[in-house]
Amino acid sequence: MRRIAIFDTTLRDGEQAPGISLKPEQKLKIAKALESAGTDVIEAGFPVNSPSEKEAVKLIAREIEQSEIAVLCRPIPKEIDLCQDVLSKASKARLHLWIATSPIHMKYKLNMSPAKVMDKAISAIRYASGKFDSIQFSSEDATRSHIDFLGKLMREAARAGADVVNLADTVGCALPEHMALMTREVKKAVKDKIPVGVHCHNDLGLATSNTLSAIRAGAGQIDLTVSGVGERSGNTSFEQVVVSLLFHKKHFEVETNVKQAELGELCDLVVKEMGLRVGHSTPLIGENSFRHESGIHVHGMLNNPLTYELVNPSDLGIKGGDIVIGKHTGKAAVKHLLERNGCTLENDELTKLTELVKERSIITGPLETEKALLDFAVNNGFEVDYKRGGDLAR
Ligand code: MN
């Protein structure tokens, strides 16, 4: 099994998502949860952004022991010095230098020639060399860069002292095949002497696929954010990649240091602290991810939950097992919920009650709780007698 490193950027790229701003103590809380979940590298922030960001990084660097702490930095000596200062108390400090390498970014953002970009990047790596436990060098907009230029730059970066090189799909335009091809090319360029990482965005909904494809192509590090938070449509989701790797362990033949049972708590914390709204159908952490209504599905679930769920949510520390009683409900669900409460109905009674439940749900929406179902049965003259009744849980 090949071991790959998880580089989490929830506190940097994630926090850059419009409208999000965390106080240093909030960032520390999230950093601690990331450390506890087994994250290898925590990108704590972009120190030059503000005094609060500097304070947050210092706090995290002081408190976190297991994970390496990274900070984002432009290839400018003064900024490198600042990063060295804020990371001085870190048990493991990583400088994350980056520069854009695509023609559009070099021309319209940096106003630099490719030669100038190369020079700036390599001098910065040389300047930083020896001042940190590790140096990561990233190419911004790598997926829209010329592969020959990218290869040459990464080869020189490795020679100058970079310990990891990283390829960003900054606008989320890549396909899985592109990420694999680019990863292989850059691995060749650095002669496989240092790990090649990838940083994907989700503008086409492909961030997870692209990251997994890069792993298959030999990427040694992956950038993730919890719940996929990040600029625009976000980054590669931490939980999606971790669960994909677990589910397809034999296919990927890689392992990570992540403790799967802590995923639920980690996601809940980030969502709460950042004030995020998670979509109903968001993979793994959406309200409906482990919730069922339709008769055929609930019937299968009651016999064996793996009929309609790829993983037991409790293995991930995620609450699941909800049955919704609504328009699509079948007899099995109604029977199950009655029996859980010590009630039984004859088969034709059960059929009648199920039909009434469906009718009622079409008009007024699903019954919210198990108790509501039992009350509904009693109010409609069914002979059910129950002692308890609470949440609709499996
Ligand atoms: Mn990014």
Work out how many domains the chain is built from and give that number: 2
Q: Is residue 281 part of a domain?
A: no
Q: Is residue 365 part of a domain?
A: yes
Q: 166: exposed, middle or buried (C-beta count within 10 Å: 0-12, 13-18, 19+)? A: buried
- Asked if 40 contacts 224 with a C-beta cutoff of 8 angstroms, the reply is no
Residues 312, 231 share a domain = no
Q: Is residue 280 part of a domain?
A: no
Residues 100, 40 share a domain = yes
Domain boundary among 228, 246, 274: 274
The rounded Å distance from CA 326 to ligand 1 centre is 41
User: DSSP letter at 261?
Assistant: G
Residues 100, 127 share a domain = yes
For residue 321, give its domain range.
291-392
Q: Tokens representing 94? A: 């990583």
CATH of the domain at 54: 3.20.20.70
Residues 297, 270 share a domain = no
Q: Is residue 184 part of a domain?
A: yes
The rounded Å distance from CA 236 to ligand 1 centre is 10
Rounded to 5 degrees, what angle do the CA atoms 271, 87, 85 make?
A: 130
The rounded Å distance from CA 157 to ligand 1 centre is 20
The rounded Å distance from CA 14 to ligand 1 centre is 8
The rounded Å distance from CA 139 to ligand 1 centre is 11
Residues 258, 112 share a domain = yes
Residues 253, 374 share a domain = no
The rounded Å distance from CA 308 to ligand 1 centre is 34
Q: Is residue 279 part of a domain?
A: no
- Asked if 96 contacts 43 with a C-beta cutoff of 8 angstroms, the reply is yes
Residues 321, 248 share a domain = no
Q: Is residue 286 part of a domain?
A: no
The sign of the torsion formed by the CA atoms of 17, 18, 24, 29 equals negative
The rounded Å distance from CA 169 to ligand 1 centre is 8
The rounded Å distance from CA 211 to ligand 1 centre is 13
Q: Tokens representing 29? A: 């809380």
Domain boundary among 233, 248, 274: 274
| CA dist., res. 200 & res. 219, Å (int) | 12
Per-residue pLDDT of the chain (394 residues; tens, 9 = 90+): 999 999 999 999 999 999 999 999 999 999 999 999 999 999 999 999 999 999 999 999 999 999 999 999 999 999 999 999 999 999 999 999 999 999 999 999 999 999 999 999 999 999 999 999 999 999 999 999 999 999 999 999 999 999 999 999 999 999 999 999 999 999 999 999 999 999 999 999 999 999 999 999 999 999 999 999 999 999 999 999 999 999 999 999 999 999 999 999 999 999 999 999 999 999 999 999 999 999 999 999 999 999 999 999 999 999 988 899 999 999 999 999 999 888 889 999 999 999 999 999 999 999 878 889 999 999 999 988 655 444 444 3
pTM of the model: 0.94
Residues 267, 305 share a domain = no
Rounded to 5 degrees, what angle do the CA atoms 180, 155, 4 make?
A: 45
The rounded Å distance from CA 172 to ligand 1 centre is 9
The rounded Å distance from CA 125 to ligand 1 centre is 20
Residues 192, 241 share a domain = yes
User: DSSP letter at 197?
Assistant: E
Residues 295, 262 share a domain = no
Query: What SS3 class is residue 312?
Result: coil
Q: Is residue 285 part of a domain?
A: no
| CA dist., res. 81 & res. 128, Å (int) | 8
Do β-strands 322-323 and 291-292 pair in parallel, antiparallel, or remain unpaired?
parallel
The rounded Å distance from CA 98 to ligand 1 centre is 11
Closest CA to 95 of 87, 105, 104: 87
Closest CA to 142 of 186, 111, 107: 186
Residues 40, 147 share a domain = yes
Residues 319, 192 share a domain = no
Domain boundary among 274, 309, 341: 274
The rounded Å distance from CA 140 to ligand 1 centre is 8
The rounded Å distance from CA 348 to ligand 1 centre is 59
- Asked if 118 contacts 157 with a C-beta cutoff of 8 angstroms, the reply is no
Closest CA to 357 of 386, 388, 324, 384: 324
Q: Is residue 282 part of a domain?
A: no
State the first-to-last Cα distance of the chain, in angstroms, to the nearest integer. 36
